[in-house]
Structure 1
Amino acid sequence: MKTSFFQMNARAVVCAVACGVIPFAASAQTYTFKIGAGRIDPRATSGDLEGTLPTGFAGAPLVPLPAGNHLEVMPKSTLLFSIERSFDDHWSAELVLGVPPTHDVKLRVSDSVKSGAANAALVKAALGADAFTNPAKTAAAITASGGAANYVSMRVADNVNKYDGVTVARVKQAAPTLFLNYKFLDASSALRPYVGVGINYTNFKVTSTQAGNDLYTDGPVRISSTDSIGLAFQVGGTYKFDKNWSASAGWTTAAVKNNVTIRTNTSEQTLTYRFHPSVFSLMMGYSY
């Protein structure tokens, strides 16, 4: 397996923190525990869904997916917590965790699907709402569609278009992130801004909803997803009320990539996500 420059830099950050290659002052070591709320905006819309799609029609059981269909991951709030170890007045290492949130995943259909559904609506207006589902009307629907190829295309578009904007899957993600932080200003300052760079690991567990199963009309839907390792960055500020208690607000992002495979009894689709989520946090901390 090839190791990218991106992954080597991420590992270097971990080694620098874990092995103590940076000369921190041991006399200033303290721990801070934080807990609070986080709002996660994945900003994750997949690349095109690729592969085949079941049609529910015996004459052509599978068709290639048209270009332009995507899956979008929706924002979610969750409980965050972290443990931070200060090495001196400016440098610290922080492990950020949280209760794994479950995000809705919505289908965004292509313009070609919408156009095909509009054409299918004309056929249904002439033959009835069940023109593409009633076997007794198949011959008439093929004729009205302008041939078998058009019939299959319209049939698929009519079905898929029903799920535009619908939650067809849910993804549960756990994303522990290790940061090396630098705090600005003097240690006696009540308000101190900080920046951090680190490494993020994200594990995805994706499941289909009932709508997702209905969309494919081909038995249970099975979804697998790869995990992601990438660089992370955070910026924020901490306000100390006294020597123990503090409040912090921050923004975090990371480079995340994963590949998703969707399988039914007869079909398979693949897609890729490359995204940089935004995580806004507000936390209370206790130091000792």
Structure 2
Amino acid sequence: MTICKSLGGAAALTLALAGLHTQAQAQSQDYTVRVGYSNIAPHSSASDATGPFLFKPNSGISLEVKNESTLFFSVARKIDDRFEVELALGLPPTHDVTAKLNPSIVPGYVVSAYQGQTIARIRQLAPTVFLNYSFGDSSSALRPFVGLGLNYTRFDERRSTPTGNSLNGGPTDIQLSDSWGLAAQVGLDYRINDKWSIHGSVATARVKTKLTATTAGAARVMDINFHPVVLTVAAGYRF
């Protein structure tokens, strides 16, 4: 009888310790790191440039920011079974900027020489914080989610190309203002096991900047609005 009681007590203690270990392990898995690939379509729209030696009120000279792909990574902190806070980052992509000229305003020889040519390259750093809400049961392998957040965009490298210098009439310095704006995303998480998952999302943000291009002391400015669509596929690791 004493041996049976001892064995029963040991078994109960073992089960209790196992339960505590499982609970501690579950509580410790509060963070998820995601690494993958993003394609960024800026969908830019820019006003006509204004400034010295340009036609008024419409110069017919604008630009377009081209698509680019880059490495994506993020860190997410679980709040509960439905909510998480995610800081989405990535390797800052460098976008080609091409000339967009109105042939009804700009002389034909200028249009033929510069239309669609790369006149600048700009690199953007755009960390975004999301509050994500997941649908379905926490035990489900596939869970759709939506997120709302805040985006900060900084253009930390800006280079005029030789073609851009030629269009502007000499070596040109480019400056772009920083941007703050709301961001949103929708996506799916597929859980492979307790540690690994596959993550897919479509995100957008409100991004506005003012571009100032200065050539030999003459500054020309334009406003640029971005309506980006960012497609991301990533692997997630929970710990």
Partner of 2:149: 198
* Counterpart residue identity of residue 43, structure 1: H
> For residues 150 and 97 of structure 2, what CA distance do their matches in structure 1 show?
25
Q: In structure 2, what is the equivalent of residue 188 of structure 1?
A: 139
Q: Report the counterpart of residue 121 of structure 1 in structure 2.
A: none
2:46 equivalent in structure 1:
46
Indicate which of 185, 191, 202 corresponds to 1:234: 185
CA contact (8 A) 1:100 1:172 kept: yes
Aligned CA distance change for structure 1 residues 36 and 108 (closer, same or farther; 3 Å): same
Residue 273 of structure 1: how far off its partner (Å):
1.1
Instruction: State whether structure 2 residue 90 is matched by structure 1 residue 85.
Output: no
CA distance in 1, matches of 2:111, 2:227: 28
Aligned to 2:91: 99
Q: TM-score, normalised by structure 1?
A: 0.70
Q: From the superposition, tell whether residues 183 and 28 of structure 1 become closer, same or farther in structure 2 (CA, over 3 Å).
A: farther
SS in 2 for 1:50: coil
Instruction: Report sequence identity in percent.
Output: 43
- Contiguous gaps of at least 5 residues in structure 1: 1-25, 54-62, 118-157
Offset of 1:41 from its aligned partner?
0.1
Q: How far apart, in 2, do the equivalents of 1:266 and 1:285 lie?
A: 50
Q: 1:276: which partner in 2? A: 227
Question: Is the Cα contact below 8 Å between 2:182 and 2:205 reproduced in 1?
Answer: yes
Equivalent AA in structure 2 for residue 206 of structure 1: R
Q: Name the residue aligned to 2:13.
A: none
Supply the distance in 2 between the matched residues of 1:280 and 1:237 (Cα, whole angstroms). 12
Distance 1:64 1:267, change over 3 A: farther
Post-superposition CA distance 1:186-227 (Å, at most 9, x none): 00000000000000000013210111111122x310111100
Check conservation: 1:113, 1:161, Cα contact below 8 A: no
CA-CA distance at 1:266 after TM superposition: 4.3
Superposed, 1:80-229 pairs within 5 Å as: 80-113=72-105, 116-117=107-108, 158-159=109-110, 161-204=112-155, 205-217=157-169, 219-229=170-180
Q: Matched residue of 1:212: which SS?
A: helix
Deviation track 1:239-268 (CA, whole Å, cap 9, x = no partner) reads 000000000110000000100101100422
Q: Shift in Å at residue 68 of structure 1?
A: 3.0
User: Cα distance, 1:49 vs. partner?
Assistant: 1.1
Higher strand fraction: Structure 1 or Structure 2? 2
Whole-angstrom distance in 1 between the partners of 2:224 and 2:119? 16
Greater share of helix:
1
RMSD between aligned alpha carbons?
1.7
- Whole-Å separation in 1 of the counterparts to 2:223 and 2:173: 16
The unaligned stretches of length 5 or more in structure 2 are: 1-25
- From the superposition, tell whether residues 159 and 276 of structure 1 become closer, same or farther in structure 2 (CA, over 3 Å): closer
